[in-house]
Every structure is written in C-alpha cells, then in structure tokens.
C-alpha cells in the first residue's frame, strides 16, 4: 500500500506543475475562491516563473492521462474557461505526442500472438490521432478493407492506477473533514471515475459498447457508429471500420463542403437525447475529437471507451425534469427531486420550487449565447448547498456528457436554443412512456411475468418445506450472545460443559 507521504508528494508535485504553467492564475484571481485555497495557490506558485499566457494543455499533459481527461472535458466549454484556454486544451483530444511505431507493433504482436502480416497487409506508421490512453493508425486488412487500429499506450494502466490511488487518498482526507466537503461525496465520485477508466482500458469492452450503441441508434440514421472487426480486436487492440469525414471542430472545412452546421447541431442533440433518455445507454465522451461529419452529412462517432447507463426509472425522472424546466413547470421538477431522493425529505417542497424558479426563469427560452453560465451555475450550486443535496455520482457521466454536447452544439450553432431543440423529443418520449397505453402495457407485462414465475416459486417453497419425516420438528432456539474468549479459556469452558453433561446424564439415567 502506498504511504501517505507518497500521496502528499504527488499532490504537491501536480500543484507545482500547474503553477509553473500558470494554470492556477485564474483560481487565485477569482473573487469567489475561498481564502485558504487562494493561500495554497500562492504557496504552490512561490518561486516559479509565470508565463504571460497560461499553458493549460502542457500542464495537464505533464501531470498524466487522468488529468488529460479533465482537460478534454473543459475544451468543449469556452464559455466557462475562455476562448484562449479552450483553444489550448483542444489539442489534448487527439494530438498528443505519439508512441514510437516499433512499440505499437510490439503491442499488436503481443495481443494476438501472431505475425502482423497475417492480420494487416499494411499499417501507416504515422498515427492519425494520439490521445491520452491510446493512439490510432490507419491500416488495410489482409482481405483489403481499410480500417482504423486503436492500440493502448504502453504502461498507461500503471499510470492511471497510480493517479487514481492518490485521488482516492485525497478524497478520503477531504471527506473526513465533514460539512460541505462531505456533502459532495468525493470518495464515491472518485470510485465512479475509477470504474469509468477500468472500462476504457479494456478495448474488448469498448468494441462491445460500440456494437450495442449501434443497435440502439438504428432509429437515428443521421448518427452512425463504425462497424467492429472482431477478428482483429483484443484487450489492448481494437480494429474498426475506417471513417472518412471532417472533424466536427473544423468549421471552415464543414462550410467549404456545404454542410449545414445548424442541422448538424440539432442532429447531435437529438442523437444524445435518443441515447440518454430513450435507450438509457449513451456515449459519454462526445468531445470534438470523437465526432466526424461524413460526405453524406451524417455524424459519425468514435472512441467508445466511456459509456453511461441510466435505468428506466431514472430516465423518466430525467425526462420530466428537462420537460418541466422547458415548460416552466417548476413544481413538478421539485416533486421529482423529492421522489428521487435528491433532496432530503425534511426540506419544504414549496421553498425548493421557488428556488428552482429563481434559476430557471432568467434563462428559459434564451439562446445559449445569451445565457450567463456562470450566474446559472452559481444559482444551482447555491440550491444544492442550501437544500443539503448530496452529489449523485451515478449521474456524473450524464452531467459531464451534457456539458460536452452543449459545448459542441453551441460551437456549431451559437444561436441554438437547447430547450427548444429538446422539447419535441422529450415531450413525445414522455407521452409514449407515461401515457395510458404505456401504463396498461406495463401492467400487463408485469402481471404476465408474475404468473410465469409462479411454478418456479412453488417449487422453491416445496424445497424449503419438505414433507414431515419420523423425527418431530425441532423447537425454536432463542438467541444467546456468544462470549469471545481466548483459546485456553475455550478449552476450559468445553471441559466444564462436558463434565456438566456427564453428571446430568448419570443422575437422570435411573429415570
């Protein structure tokens, strides 16, 4: 087990790295930053040379893959971090320094225990993308198909494990302080993040996720998933159909090719709603580096390492919350928060409704460009704090993806109205799920399922209650607290009990 001193050293080193690249300057200057945090930031930057422009991407890249994942998320939100910071973080998505090709070849040979020539007739040694966990090479299979080959970076599992271990340690220290920090549930949040990365580091699971998502997205023909080559896929190597297209972040190329960016933004939002609300299984890493526009105008997604799931009940709550915010039905939104247990029951429903209205009314109906994200987040954070709402780690992936989708859609169409775009889909889905036909269908399905389980239930009851034999049923025995004793006392007690039983048997024998 890693010693606390090692974790402290890592945290100090990461903080020093951020400070050296000027990445903590914004935190120090932000008026809402707590004084103790501001003092720690000043201590971290003491004696460092501060560049004129913060080098966020360089700082996160120097810290490691886990930090890079954070940077990829922030790159989609120039409204939160600023245009310059978002532009700098953008290159973390697929333009990191690549691993030498000879090491990539070794990983492929090791994964399949076969010569590469039997699998691919050619592989381009220059990667088309190099990200935090893996890099991708264009190749041609032995049967002549053009494919993309994704290979994990050597040693990436060890780097992630070391970083996450320190995150866990730090979260435990923070949560032990209690109060507001404990309400945020940092330990459970880090555990959720740990599970995300475990899935992403097994490329067979990524291939299975892509296959499952493709089935769920058949109703959205303008959003496509590449086909998996299962014969050339293993734990550390993934082979899939090659996608010819323009990166969705390259707006000039999209315009030159004649693509309608407003339509692309709406397609992306609908595709995400289909995944998250209708299917309950969604791509949770939809940043610009993972989205391409094909010549036919369809959006193609790649990189299925991080996927999210939401059960039907949570999806109904989510859809009703979204629809309530869209239509201004804050009372229903508040009721759902209480039903779902997101707000402790001792709080007042009417007061929570008013608090939601205070946040929702100023932004309802406005295009994203006219919404002050900072003011909205301040209002939401105030609500969660005032009403003691604990963090919901099972919704973190969804929240993270919604932030990404809004960022990408807004970059395509600054005038997009997210509420208006989502309203038809969410409303129709709610009618299909909560209407009378759906209620009758659910009741019939549950009743028939119960009837089908009756024979098995009877067999289990018979197994637990066999027919009476010659011996009478044993009487119930009362619970007796067991005394925990040492081995020597245990032997003495056993001898005393045995002697007592022997004496009682001798006295009762004549009777």
Distance in angstroms (rounded) separating the CA atoms of residues 50 and 140: 47
Q: Which long-range contacts (CB under 8 A, 24 or more apart) does 59-64 make?
A: 59/17, 59/18, 59/20, 59/21, 59/23, 60/23, 60/89, 60/92, 61/92, 61/96, 62/17, 62/21, 63/14, 63/17, 63/18, 63/163, 64/159, 64/160, 64/163
Would you say the C-alpha torsion 117, 118, 124, 128 has a positive or negative sign?
negative
**C-alpha–C-alpha distance, residues 455 and 463, integer Å:** 13
Q: How many CA atoms lie within 13 A of 374 on its CB side?
A: 8
Please give the structure tokens belonging to residue 302.
């790649």
- d(CA 68, CA 71) in angstroms, rounded, equals 5
Q: How many CB atoms lie within 10 A of CB 356?
A: 21
Distances in Å between the alpha carbon of 399 and those of 189, 285, 308, 436?
13, 11, 11, 31
- Bridging pattern class, strands 307-309 and 281-283: antiparallel
- Strand partners for 300: 224, 292
Of 479, 107, 77, nearest in space to 288 by CA: 77
Q: Compute how many other C-beta atoms are within 10 angstroms of the C-beta atom of residue 210.
A: 23
CB 124 within 8 A of CB 114: no
Residue count of the chain:
511
Looking up tokens 């050597």, which residue turns up? 154
- 415 catalytic per annotation: no
Helices (H) and strands (E) in the chain, counts: 22, 11
Which is the catalytic residue, given 58, 94, 229, 285? 285
Burial 479-492 (b: 16+ CB within 10 A, else e): eeeeeeeeeeeeee
Q: Which residues are annotated as catalytic?
A: 285
């Amino acid at each position: 087990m890693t010693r606390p001193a090692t974790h402290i050293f890592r945290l100090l080193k990461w903080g020093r790295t951020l400070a050296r690249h000027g990445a903590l300057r914004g935190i120090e200057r932000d008026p809402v930053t707590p004084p103790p945090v501001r003092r720690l930031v000043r201590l971290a930057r003491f004696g460092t040379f501060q560049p004129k422009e913060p080098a966020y991407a360089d700082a996160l890249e120097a810290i490691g893959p886990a930090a890079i994942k954070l940077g990829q998320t922030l790159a989609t939100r120039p409204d939160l971090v600023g245009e310059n910071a978002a532009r700098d973080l953008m290159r973390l998505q697929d333009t990191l320094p690549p691993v030498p090709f000879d090491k990539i070849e070794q990983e492929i040979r090791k994964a399949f225990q076969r010569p590469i020539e039997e699998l691919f007739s050619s592989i381009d040694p220059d990667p088309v993308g190099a990200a935090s966990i893996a890099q991708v090479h264009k190749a041609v299979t032995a049967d002549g198909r053009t494919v993309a080959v994704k290979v994990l970076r050597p040693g990436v599992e060890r780097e992630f494990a070391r970083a996450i271990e320190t995150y866990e340690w730090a979260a435990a220290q923070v949560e032990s302080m209690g109060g507001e920090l404990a309400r945020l549930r940092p330990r459970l949040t880090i555990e959720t993040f740990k599970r995300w990365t475990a899935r992403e580091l097994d490329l067979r699971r990524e291939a299975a996720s892509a296959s499952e998502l493709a089935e769920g997205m058949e109703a959205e023909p303008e959003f496509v998933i590449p086909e998996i080559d299962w014969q050339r896929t293993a734990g550390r190597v993934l082979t899939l159909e090659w996608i010819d297209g323009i990166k969705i972040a390259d707006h000039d190329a999209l315009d030159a090719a004649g693509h309608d960016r407003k339509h692309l933004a709406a397609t992306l939002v609908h595709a995400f709603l289909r995944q998250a609300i209708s299917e309950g299984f969604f791509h949770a890493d939809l940043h610009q580096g993972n989205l391409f526009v094909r010549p036919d105008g369809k959006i193609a997604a790649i990189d299925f390492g991080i996927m999210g799931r939401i059960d039907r009940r949570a999806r109904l709550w989510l859809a009703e919350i979204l629809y309530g915010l869209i239509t201004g039905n804050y009372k229903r939104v508040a009721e759902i928060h209480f039903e779902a247990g997101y707000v402790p029951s001792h709080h007042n429903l009417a007061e929570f409704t008013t608090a939601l209205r205070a946040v929702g009314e100023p932004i309802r109906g406005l295009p994203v460009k006219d919404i002050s994200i900072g003011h909205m987040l301040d209002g939401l954070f105030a609500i969660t704090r005032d009403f003691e709402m604990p963090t919901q780690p099972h919704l973190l992936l969804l929240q993270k993806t919604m932030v990404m989708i809004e960022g990408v859609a807004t970059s395509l169409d600054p005038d997009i109205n997210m509420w208006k775009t989502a309203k038809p889909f969410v409303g129709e889905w709610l009618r299909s799920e909560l209407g009378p036909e759906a209620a009758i269908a659910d009741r019939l399905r549950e009743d028939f399922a119960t009837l089908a389980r009756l024979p098995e239930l009877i067999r289990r009851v018979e197994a637990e209650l066999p027919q009476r034999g010659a011996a009478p049923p044993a009487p119930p025995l009362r619970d007796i607290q067991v005394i925990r004793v040492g081995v020597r006392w245990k032997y003495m007690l056993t001898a005393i009990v045995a002697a007592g039983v022997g004496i009682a048997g001798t006295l009762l024998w004549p009777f």
